[in-house]
Amino acid sequence: MADKKMRRRDFLKGAAMGVAGGALAVMGIYSYSPWRKRYFPKVERKLVDIGACKSIKVTNISETSWFDNPVLVGDIKGAGGALVNQYTFNWPPFGDGSGLAKGSYEKGIAKIKHLLPDKLEEAWAITEKNSVNPENAGAYACLIELEELSGKKHKYLLDTGWSYKWTEECFKREGIDKMLKNKEIEAPYISHEHFDHFWGLPVTMKYDPTIPIYAPDGFYDEGRAYIKDSGHKGKVTFIKKGLNKIIPGFASFVFDLPIICRVYGEQSLYFNIKDKGLVSVTGCCHQSIIQFAETAFREIKYENDNLYGVYGGLHISPFEDWDPKYDDLVISLGKYGFERIGCNHCTGIITAKKFIDTGYPIVEGTARFRTKDTAYLGNGDTISFGA
């Protein structure tokens, strides 16, 4: 065990130096190995104390952000490619009837704004008639339940889905609607501005329009306007890049990076579990799992200097379009020594199966509620870290 920890720490010290996560995704395995550290100065660790908590439990409300990969990819290509502003795609809920890549936030929201957030069925019926491939819209959202060392409990959302219809169905299935009504959920933390993580916001507003919202500072004008247009009447905090301590054992980190479909910045979450180590929870992990883990090593003090677990989308093969260079990322994941891995969404099923075949401690799912495979944690599944 000691040898394993030493090897993992040596790797982390090497990985935490130098290049950004985006470039790592296309480099060879040498770039992920401990050998590269000989060419860089020793990394200075900040070791910020975020405190510790007793445990967290993550419930996957929905990881199925869309239902058909070829349809989504076809829309993006047809609209002009991955650098085109997502609000012009004419996807729901902002469809205005003008067709693919001819829309705008202003024209789309004008058709449904008067119905938000209380008349979601009526709003969705309108957007279905005016949008491109509305049946393909799903949702990404999860519930995080945290227990402090004192026994005090907290509930948070990470992300708020896409399709009003599908998001509300999933909220009701997991009792999120009642939790919001009863003000049991303290806040949604929005990972980033992408359609599948953010555009379902009116569903949350329907049940608690005054709930505080925390989003990365890189939101564009459309996204900021949508929060208000969704019927939100509470406080909105746009978090600047870097580490943000929230309560003992819980911090978020905003990564400063451009993302496809003209989105900027991603907020991910870290939890320091007493006697166990650090758990990383992510929406998409556009910054890459390498950057996610090395940021934790560089920035945060955590129990036993141990990276205990990870949950969420790891953004390796989201469209199941496997490329041999991704094998380097599969190999590199093992260097961190995670003890529990709950992956889904943009990790890709092929990737999850490769993790399993490699022998990683993957927590598999039940393939219910339109999740396609048991290889990763699907809709309605849960994972716990700590006591």
Give the C-alpha separation, 147 to 261, whole Å: 36
| Residue 249 in domain | no
Number of domains within the chain: 1
Q: Is 354 helix (H, G, I), strand (E, B) or coil?
A: helix
| Residue 6 in domain | no
Q: What is the CA radius of gyration of the chain?
A: 20
Tell me which residue of 286, 296, 236 sits closest to 265, measured CA to CA: 286
Along the 387 residues of the chain, how does pLDDT read in single tens digits?
A: 444 444 444 434 433 333 333 333 333 333 334 443 444 457 789 999 999 999 999 999 999 999 999 999 999 999 999 999 999 999 999 999 999 999 999 999 999 999 999 999 999 999 999 999 999 999 999 999 999 999 999 999 999 999 999 999 999 999 999 999 999 999 999 999 999 999 999 999 999 999 999 999 999 999 999 999 999 999 999 999 999 999 999 999 999 999 999 999 999 999 999 999 999 999 999 999 999 999 999 999 999 999 999 999 999 999 998 988 889 889 989 999 999 999 999 999 999 999 999 999 999 999 999 999 999 999 999 999 997
Domain boundaries, position 132: 67-136
| Residue 87 in domain | yes
Tell me which residue of 317, 266, 318 sits closest to 159, measured CA to CA: 266
| Residue 250 in domain | no
Half-sphere exposure of 223 (CA within 13 A, CB side): 27
| Residue 90 in domain | yes
| Residue 101 in domain | yes
| Residue 192 in domain | no
| Residue 73 in domain | yes
